[in-house]
A and B are shown apart, each in its own frame.
Chain A
Amino acid sequence: MSAVIHEEHHHHDGPPAGFKRWLYSTNHKDIGTMYLIFALVMLFIGGAMAMLIRAELYMPGLQIVNPDFYNNLVTDHALIMIFGMVMPAAAGMANWMIPMMIGAPDMALPRMNNMSFWLLPAAAILLLSSMGVSFIPGLDAGTPVNTGWTIYPPLSIQVGMGMDLLIFSVHLLGISSIMASINIVTTILNMRAPGMPLMKMPLFVWSWLFTGLLLIIVMPVLAGGVTMLLFDRHFGTSFFDAAGGGDPVLFQHLFWFFGHPEVYVLLLPSIGVLGLVIPTFSRKPLFGYKPLVFFMGFLFALGLVVWAHHQYTIGMSLGVTTYFMIGTILISIPVGLMIFNFIFTMWRGAMTFETPMLFAIGIILMFSFAGVTGVMLAVVPADLQYHDTYFVVAHFHYALIPGAVFGLYAGVFYWLPKWTGNMYNETQGKIFFWWTTLSFNLTFFPQHFSGLAGMPRRIVDYNIQYVEFNQISSIGGFLFGLSHLLFLYIIIKTVKGGEKAGDKPWEGAQIGTPGLEWSLPSPPPFHSFTTPPTIK
């Protein structure tokens, strides 16, 4: 069997025709492309939900949606953006770039690669139908998933069948992520070209090594947690029911043991992208590569042991609370070092400001801001006031939109010429950067103030004292949403054609890294390195 496949590959260097190319694909570039397209679709679905949320919150009162549907939107917006958008987009970039960066012919486990992608559409259908079941006439689906993405019991026990579909969706998403992570970690550890020790790998590859390991560690815990929830719901167990000797707080620990490292799963790949973009456009090598790698490892380790800072209000003992507070504040050390090293990569460089670089600089500033509000939140006594207010909403959107999403946008603009062979329109790219960045800040900056003034999270209706900030937020939100139509337009236009990009669309793109990906033509051939490249 393997001989036949082997022969086939020799005879046809191109992809098979028709739908089989995609459905049966074992090619890292095709699978990467599918991941990226999937993420783009989910970005618009999750974004549409955010638009509905902001439209409802534009005015006090109930205008567009009922409270349960609102809470369902809040839940699914988070799950879709995290599991449907950021993680697949980062996995798509890993699929595309890592084999090319380390000089491998493909991913280590191509068939598993296919399966880990094709589980995603199934999971997405389950997730969307968990929302959809409430709208099927004649079907008594019970209460919609009105719990927020944290699906805390006992509320999640009350919810109707939407919760079951959501749990199954999380199972599939978990299997998909674990398989993708195993694949990426294996590829990085086993498939590097001769002459590339670990300490010579591009930062993006390092970031994915840690991301993959994190996912392998924490995803099973989430899967276990939601399975226990499923048993509590249907099979008479009472893991989380105090009346049956269970503990509602246990679920919170299981959830956040996954949930906090998950934040780094979202952030690390984008930090890896910055580690390539900033040297490229500063025209000098990365400042402090080794410390960056070691502190990324420190962040990885620390991220696994500080989860309960999401639960300061559950009533832990003084000792435990103090431990989680200090652990959490210490996160500022690796993050601070990353910011420091990125700034000093620009220092004494010869900078130009193409779209990826604009995003990178924006990220340094906005992510630092998320970092300092993060330290504010880490201080337990103060957090007992901030907790579950819009201050937290503002904080994590500052962390995740610049920290994860804009990092991916930087990656898209940085690699789009390599992927398609065409240059995007730089003016349009810059307009997109300014449009998204300004409207993002207009959306989320005021939310710090509504939070301090006492507006809780996840409320469908609010007192009139919060009107001004919510209206500013909503207008910003609509502009932010609208800017993504330009993003879509730029991508489609670049895929279709445009000025040809050379093998090295960015002068000096290889700086500070071996730059194997830039030694290939743009777009690269269907199979990249059939023989291992040599590294100088």
Chain B
Amino acid sequence: MSKSKSYLASLSALLLTFFAGTAFAEYKLNFPEPVSPLTSQMYDLHMLTTKIATVIMVIVIAFVVYAILKFRKSKGYEADQNFHKTAFGTWSWILVPVIVLGIDLSIAGSAGDALKQVEDYSEADITVKVTGSQWKWTYDYMDDDVRIVSNMLSKEKAGDNYLRAVDNPLVLPTNKRIRFLHTASDVLHAWWVPEIIYKKDSIPGYINETWTIIEKEGTYRGQCAEICGTGHAFMPIVVEAISQDKYDSWLAEKKTAMAAAAAEASADKTWSKDELYARGETVYNTNCASCHQLTGAGIPGVFPALAGSKIAIGDIVAHIDIVLNGKSGTAMAAWGMQLDDLQTASVITYERNAWGNNTGDAVQPADIKAARK
């Protein structure tokens, strides 16, 4: 076996081992199948421009390959020194703009309808406000006063869908016109689920609008598309599309659960430290652990540790203040709008007693209520 052959053999062996593990994986070479009128139109546009692009590339490659094969010095071809002075050489510059302009305008023309559809703000059946924040999505059903906070699922729970799975998906009915209002609470984000909804950025201070009609029941996944800092890769989006009937009962259930939680949170009850600690652990692990870590150790230089921190073992009022109002100039968000009094009280209690922060403090919902004023 010659040297080069043995190299080839070892290279193909390497490639084989490399592909062996993935032989049965589904290769996705194109957009996922669209399931809404507008994403279908976009898909068709994409296929149209892909075809035009392919034809143009074939033509360019054909010309270049022909030139390379034919007009080579090694074949004794003599250069035509006056080619650029011929009529073709003098006037062909008109050719390209005319042809290219024709292609351009037909592409732009076929995009016109979809573009108008994107900017069509007719009345919708359901309106959902989608708020991006570092690093989770909050969904407000504007007509029903229902809120869903959607966090990434851990690797253990999500399995193969890790980074594309959440604890609380957005639930929507099929075959209804849904309007999304996009905004952000801290930095730019972009909400995107390829099958059902295209991108419009979530910008603090702006409200952008998109719409869709989901034509098929199913679970649709996406990710935050606009860089938003440390957790940008960890901000998945999941939409569950279900029939109107199922949606109605889901909504009723959700409302009951929310009312119960609200009643519990505002009840004039004094909670024991252990109760608060147990609830606080859940709140912390869902909302705070992506930065401050499960161990409370933070990430040195990036996210401060809470274990032994001046805030978490110091003045309670300052601690409540930073949780409710955030810290400007840092990634620490204001949680006052997202957590209710009981959740806030629990998480602060947890932070003041976990990881060796043995202050023994128990912060009551009433304290939070007072601090909010």
* Contacts from A to B (Cβ < 8 Å): 60, 66-68, 71, 134, 140-144, 146-148, 152-155, 157-158, 242-243, 247-249, 282-291, 295, 313-315, 317-318, 321-322, 325-326, 329-330, 332-333, 336-337, 339-341, 343-353, 361, 364-365, 368-369, 372-373, 375-376, 379-382, 384-389, 449, 452-454, 456-465, 467-468, 471
Q: Assess whether A143 is in contact with B230, with CB atoms less than 8 Å apart.
A: yes
A-B contacts, 25 listed (Cβ < 8 Å)? A67-B233, A142-B330, A143-B229, A143-B331, A153-B187, A158-B229, A242-B205, A249-B206, A336-B97, A346-B67, A348-B80, A349-B77, A352-B72, A352-B73, A352-B74, A372-B56, A384-B42, A387-B190, A388-B199, A452-B28, A453-B31, A454-B221, A456-B225, A463-B162, A471-B18
B252: interface (CB < 8 Å) = no
B336: interface (CB < 8 Å) = no
CB distance from A390 to the nearest CB of B (A): 11
Q: Assess whether A343 is in contact with B93, with CB atoms less than 8 Å apart.
A: no
Residue of B nearest to A69 (CB): B302
- CB-based closest 5 A-B pairs: A242-B205, A291-B93, A372-B53, A384-B198, A459-B233
In the assembled complex, the Cα of A468 lies from the Cα of B92 at a distance in Å of 45
Q: Assess whether A155 is in contact with B57, with CB atoms less than 8 Å apart.
A: no
Q: Assess whether A461 is in contact with B163, with CB atoms less than 8 Å apart.
A: yes
Q: Assess whether A66 is in contact with B302, with CB atoms less than 8 Å apart.
A: yes
Residue of B nearest to A352 (CB): B73
Contact for A467 among B22, B108, B163, CB less than 8 A? B22
Residues of A within 8 A of B49 (CB): 375-376, 379, 382
CB distance from B203 to the nearest CB of A (A): 6
CB distance from A328 to the nearest CB of B (A): 10
Residues of A within 8 A of B108 (CB): 325-326, 329, 379
Q: Take A315-B206, A388-B225 as given contacts and tell me if A66 and B45 are in contact as well, using a CB distance cutoff of 8 Å.
A: no
B232: interface (CB < 8 Å) = yes
Residues of A within 8 A of B118 (CB): 380-381, 384
B60: interface (CB < 8 Å) = yes
Residue of A nearest to B34 (CB): A385
Q: Assess whether A349 is in contact with B56, with CB atoms less than 8 Å apart.
A: no
Q: Assess whether B68 is in contact with A456, with CB atoms less than 8 Å apart.
A: no
Residue of A nearest to B31 (CB): A452
Q: A155-B227, A283-B79, A379-B107 are in contact. List 16 more A-B contacts (CB 8 A).
A: A66-B302, A71-B232, A141-B301, A155-B228, A248-B203, A288-B89, A321-B115, A329-B108, A333-B101, A344-B89, A349-B67, A351-B77, A373-B53, A382-B46, A387-B190, A467-B22
Q: Assess whether A332 is in contact with B71, with CB atoms less than 8 Å apart.
A: no
CB distance from A326 to the nearest CB of B (A): 5
Residue among A341, A350, A365 having the largest count of chain B Cβ atoms under 10 Å: A350
Contact for A313 among B18, B25, B84, B200, CB less than 8 A? B200
Contact for A379 among B30, B45, B198, B222, CB less than 8 A? B45
Q: Assess whether A449 is in contact with B225, with CB atoms less than 8 Å apart.
A: no
CB distance from B48 to the nearest CB of A (A): 9
Q: Assess whether A364 is in contact with B60, with CB atoms less than 8 Å apart.
A: yes
Q: Assess whether A242 is in contact with B206, with CB atoms less than 8 Å apart.
A: yes
Residues of B within 8 A of A147 (CB): 227, 229
Residues of B within 8 A of A365 (CB): 60-61, 64
Contact for B160 among A140, A382, A464, CB less than 8 A? A464
Q: Assess whether B302 is in contact with A347, with CB atoms less than 8 Å apart.
A: no
Residue among A365, A373, A384 having the largest count of chain B Cβ atoms under 10 Å: A384
Q: Assess whether A68 is in contact with B302, with CB atoms less than 8 Å apart.
A: yes
Q: Take A283-B79, A332-B104 as given contacts and tell me if A313 and B53 are in contact as well, using a CB distance cutoff of 8 Å.
A: no
B249: interface (CB < 8 Å) = no
Q: Assess whether B187 is in contact with A154, with CB atoms less than 8 Å apart.
A: yes
B47-87 vs A, CB cutoff 8 Å, 1 = contact: the mask equals 00110110011001101100110011110011111011000
Chain B, 1-26, CB within 8 A of any chain A CB: 18-19, 22, 25-26
Residues of B within 8 A of A290 (CB): 93
Contact for A349 among B29, B71, B204, B224, CB less than 8 A? B71
Residue of B nearest to A449 (CB): B29
Residues of A within 8 A of B103 (CB): 332
Contact for B96 among A336, A347, A389, CB less than 8 A? A336
Residue of A nearest to B14 (CB): A475
In the assembled complex, the Cα of A159 lies from the Cα of B302 at a distance in Å of 10
B114: interface (CB < 8 Å) = yes
Contact for B223 among A314, A321, A352, A459, CB less than 8 A? A459
Residues of A within 8 A of B186 (CB): 154, 158
In the assembled complex, the Cα of A349 lies from the Cα of B53 at a distance in Å of 28
Residue of B nearest to A367 (CB): B60
Residue of B nearest to A384 (CB): B198
B341: interface (CB < 8 Å) = no
B231: interface (CB < 8 Å) = yes
In the assembled complex, the Cα of A343 lies from the Cα of B96 at a distance in Å of 12
In the assembled complex, the Cα of A452 lies from the Cα of B107 at a distance in Å of 20
Contact for A376 among B46, B78, B205, CB less than 8 A? B46
Q: Take A66-B299, A361-B64, A375-B53 as given contacts and tell me if A465 and B28 are in contact as well, using a CB distance cutoff of 8 Å.
A: yes
CB distance from A60 to the nearest CB of B (A): 8
Residues of A within 8 A of B314 (CB): none
Q: Assess whether A452 is in contact with B188, with CB atoms less than 8 Å apart.
A: no
Residues of B within 8 A of A348 (CB): 71, 77, 79-80, 83
Q: Assess whether B79 is in contact with A152, with CB atoms less than 8 Å apart.
A: no
CB distance from A165 to the nearest CB of B (A): 16
Q: Take A144-B302, A325-B111 as given contacts and tell me if A288 and B93 are in contact as well, using a CB distance cutoff of 8 Å.
A: yes
Q: Assess whether B97 is in contact with A333, with CB atoms less than 8 Å apart.
A: yes
Contact for A350 among B60, B71, B200, B208, CB less than 8 A? B71
Contact for B68 among A361, A458, A460, CB less than 8 A? A361
Q: Assess whether B194 is in contact with A68, with CB atoms less than 8 Å apart.
A: no
CB distance from A276 to the nearest CB of B (A): 15
Residue of A nearest to B32 (CB): A454
B353: interface (CB < 8 Å) = no
Residues of A within 8 A of B201 (CB): 313-315
Residue of B nearest to A471 (CB): B18
Q: Assess whether B84 is in contact with A288, with CB atoms less than 8 Å apart.
A: yes
Contact for A385 among B22, B31, B77, B79, CB less than 8 A? B31
In the assembled complex, the Cα of A243 lies from the Cα of B325 at a distance in Å of 14
Q: Assess whether A452 is in contact with B30, with CB atoms less than 8 Å apart.
A: yes
CB distance from A243 to the nearest CB of B (A): 7
B161: interface (CB < 8 Å) = yes
Q: Assess whether A318 is in contact with B116, with CB atoms less than 8 Å apart.
A: yes
CB distance from B71 to the nearest CB of A (A): 5
Q: Assess whether B92 is in contact with A344, with CB atoms less than 8 Å apart.
A: yes
CB distance from B289 to the nearest CB of A (A): 15
In the assembled complex, the Cα of A474 lies from the Cα of B122 at a distance in Å of 46
Q: Assess whether A457 is in contact with B227, with CB atoms less than 8 Å apart.
A: yes
Residues of A within 8 A of B192 (CB): 388, 456
Q: Assess whether A351 is in contact with B232, with CB atoms less than 8 Å apart.
A: no
B119: interface (CB < 8 Å) = yes
Residue of A nearest to B332 (CB): A158
Residue of B nearest to A387 (CB): B199
CB distance from B19 to the nearest CB of A (A): 8
B100: interface (CB < 8 Å) = yes
CB distance from B201 to the nearest CB of A (A): 5
